């Protein structure tokens, strides 16, 4: 995977726009979280100026990733659909000042540079979009017991088999003992 580097401030000032797609397998941190590295993520990056006059980037990341359900341990498709507004600061102190001014949790402030790596930014955005503990809304082929605890299909079959009368109990009845 090659880096895609821009001058973030110039990109914003010129109101440039770029878009493309990237293989999930080219994103090592995201790949480590996925059940399968097949597929791609689409992305677009648009430069501009925030309402307060600061340079900003608008990043959109979309696509499907295969995650492992933490309940039933099977994979499922998760839709990534993320849009982030990033205000660019010159350094960490400037970033703290901007954050204090905007007081908006929806807007992130990042330190911009002349060598701003977009691929890392796309991967960060995808990682933030996936759930920390991924789960199906309803797991397939999974059985719950009376206390709503998860029971694997094998355990459910074994539990059903154990409800049958013991062979020794049957012998006692035949023998006339109760």
**pLDDT string in tens for the chain (178-residue length):** 556 899 999 999 999 999 999 999 999 999 999 999 999 999 999 999 998 889 999 999 999 999 999 888 889 999 999 999 999 999 889 888 888 888 777 788 889 989 999 999 999 999 999 999 888 888 886 555 555 555 555 555 555 555 666 777 777 777 776 5
Residues 6+ apart with CB under 8 A from 51: none
Neighbour order of strands in the sheet with 17-23 = 17-23, 40-49, 55-68, 75-89, 107-111
- The model's pTM: 0.72
CA 78 to chain centre: 8
How many Å apart are CA 120 and CA 140, to the nearest integer? 34
């Amino acid at each position: 995977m090659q880096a895609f580097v821009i001058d973030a401030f110039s990109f914003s000032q010129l109101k440039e726009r770029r878009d493309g797609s990237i293989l999930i397998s080219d994103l090592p941190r995201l790949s480590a979280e996925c059940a399968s590295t097949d597929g791609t993520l689409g992305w677009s990056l648009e430069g501009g100026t925030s309402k307060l006059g600061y340079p900003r980037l608008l990043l959109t990341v979309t696509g499907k990733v295969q995650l492992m359900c933490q309940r039933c341990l099977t994979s499922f498709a998760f839709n990534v659909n993320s849009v982030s507004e990033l205000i660019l600061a010159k350094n960490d102190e400037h970033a703290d000042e901007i954050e204090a001014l905007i007081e908006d949790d929806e807007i992130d402030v990042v330190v911009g540079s002349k060598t701003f790596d977009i691929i890392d930014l796309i991967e960060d955005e995808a990682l933030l979009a996936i759930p920390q503990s991924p789960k199906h809304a309803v797991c397939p082929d999974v059985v719950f017991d009376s206390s709503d605890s998860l029971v694997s299909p094998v355990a459910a079959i074994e539990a059903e088999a154990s409800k049958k009368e013991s062979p020794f109990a049957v012998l006692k009845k035949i023998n006339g003992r109760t």
